[in-house]
Each structure stands twice: as structure tokens, then as C-alpha cells.
Copies of this chain bind each other. A is one copy, B any other.
Amino acid sequence: MKIYVDAVNQFLENLEMLLPDSGVPVTRPEEAAPLARQVPQPLRSAMRYSLLLPGKRIRPALLLAAYHLLAEDWQKALPYACALEMIHTYSLIHDDLPAMDDDAYRRGKPTNHKVFGEGMAILAGDGLLNMAFETMLEADITRERPAEAVAAMGEIARRAGVRGMVAGQTLDVTLEGTAPKQEYVEYIHEHKTADLLTAPLTAGLMLAGANQQQLEAGRQYGFNLGLAFQITDDLLDLEGDAALLGKNTGMDAQRGKMTWPAVFGVDKARKDAESCVNKALAALDCFGDKADLLRKLVSGITDRKF
């Protein structure tokens, strides 16, 4: 996956809208030579700060890998890949706010609102969500294949929105402190986490012109990878290494979060994660050898330490 991750990091670092400038806080529109330079400070720094923190870049890498299953010109899909990272990053910034999870550290660094203040963190999140759509709408591939692009953007929007990630987030916040319950933890994990790990597969495949069977295989892989990823996350919060994770552990229990081990116990949680990995692997059969990268990725997901 390194080739994808490197390409994603390069794309994000060179986003014209977020390039660091000479420090002028505001540029008047009529004086600004390139329109892209109009993003004012400190908004630009706040967005860059969270977007460029070292991350696994798993969502964008998955989208590129999925697209690459069916088409060679995977670089064309970079704006869509990076749009997913923007959506993921906005959700973390808002999730960390005092009114939500009230977290002080993320990926080993102070959270956005700790550095830039709450108001700016809210705006940086709003800006990144909006920028995800701007980035996709302005991409070459969108102009060249508008029908596929509209389908892929629709898929990303649905899974990121109030029937997807935002829905999961709502339940996660609303049900804090209530008794662990199977139907709730399933709903939260599916929407809060798996939806944004399924979207890279389905949207990447749609962009490359996949057929229904391929889309369904991608959906199965993404959903099971997402569930395995979140169960592992729950387990790491319970028994992981805070230094490696870059954040405090034991927070889920302290907050009364609905987690997989809280509902099913640690042993069943481990088994369920493994079973998801196997289902994800099985879903890849129709793609043959081309899917080896995706096989490797999901195989290691339950072993991760951070």
C-alpha cells in the first residue's frame, strides 16, 4: 500500500487551497492572483494541522487499491481518495470537541481545538467536509466521466452522512452510559466506522465502472474490514499500549461507550474480528490475483498495535 499512501500524502501536502503562505492573515479577493489562495488564516493552518498529522491513510489507500483492481490509471482517483481523508479528518476534529468526546490528544498530538480554539475547530471541520466535495467536483476524472463520478460522489455522501457516519456518531453520543446492547453496538460500528471503510471500495469501483457483482464484493470486503477494524480498536482501548496508540487507553469504559467487548466479552470480540477478516478475504475471490494487496491489508488488521 506504500505507493498509494505516499501519493495521498503528496496530494494532501500540495493542496493548493491549504499551502502555507507568507503569513498575511487575509488576502483581499481582488488582490489575490490565484483564486485558490483565498483561504484565510488561521483556518488554513487549522485544516492543514489535522489533515497532515501522520495517519495510516487507510481510507484513501483503499479507494486507490479498489480503483486499481479495474483500471491502471489509479492516480486519476487521487482527488476522491483524498476527499475521504478530508471527511475522516473533519469527523475526528468535531468528535474531539468538548461538547462531544472532549479529547485532548489525537495521533499523539494536541487535538485541533486545543491548538486553534473551539470556534476555529468547528470551522476547520466544516471546511474540510465542504472541501471534500470541492475536491471531487473539481477533479479531472469528474469532468471526463461525469456519470461514474456522480455515482461515486453519491455513494461517498450517503455513507458519510445522516444515514451513515453521522448516524453512527449520533448513536455513539446519545447512548453513552446506557447498558451495552447488541443491536446498538452493531448499528454504531456499522455506521460510525464501517460505512467510511466501505465507501472507498464501492466508490473506487464505481469510478472505475464496476459491474453489480464487483460492487457487491467490494461492499462485503469493506463492511467486514470496517467491522474488524473497529472491534480491534475497541480491544486496543481495553488492552493496548497508550504510547504506541498516541492517545489514552481505557477511555471507552470510562465514558460508558458501546463497544464490542463490552457487549460480547473479549474472547468473542477477538473471534468475531477474525471471522470478519475471513469474510472479507472470501469476498475478494472474484478479483483474482489483482486483489493481493487488499488481501494483505485485511489479514494484518487484527494484529495492529495502533
Contacts and interface: CB of A to CB of B under 8 A. Distances in A.
Interface of A: 17, 25-26, 28-29, 35-36, 38-40, 42-44, 47, 90-91, 94, 97, 99-100, 117-123, 125-127, 129-131, 133-134, 137-138, 142-143, 146-147, 149-150, 153-154, 157-158, 160-163, 166-167, 169-171, 173-174, 183-184, 186-187, 190
A17 B121 CA distance: 28
Contact of A97 (B122, B129, B167, B184): B122
A14 to B, nearest CB: 16
Given A28-B187, A137-B157, A143-B150, A99 B122 contact: yes
A184 to B, nearest CB: 7
B129 A187 contact: no
Contacts of A167: 38-40, 43
9 contacts: A26-B171, A29-B187, A35-B163, A42-B174, A97-B122, A100-B122, A119-B173, A123-B166, A143-B150
A74 B174 CA distance: 40
A218 B290 CA distance: 50
B162 A43 contact: yes
A250 B170 CA distance: 36
A159 to B, nearest CB: 10
- What are the 5 tightest A-B residue pairs by CB atom distance, in nearest-first order? A99-B118, A146-B146, A130-B161, A137-B154, A127-B162
Given A119-B173, A150-B142, A187-B26, A166 B38 contact: no
Given A171-B40, A187-B26, A122 B94 contact: yes
A89 B235 CA distance: 39
Given A43-B166, A119-B173, A150-B143, A130 B160 contact: yes
B119 A100 contact: yes
A219 to B, nearest CB: 13
B173 A158 contact: no
A18 B35 CA distance: 37
Contacts of A43: 162, 166-167, 170
A161 B134 contact: yes
A148 to B, nearest CB: 9
A82 to B, nearest CB: 15
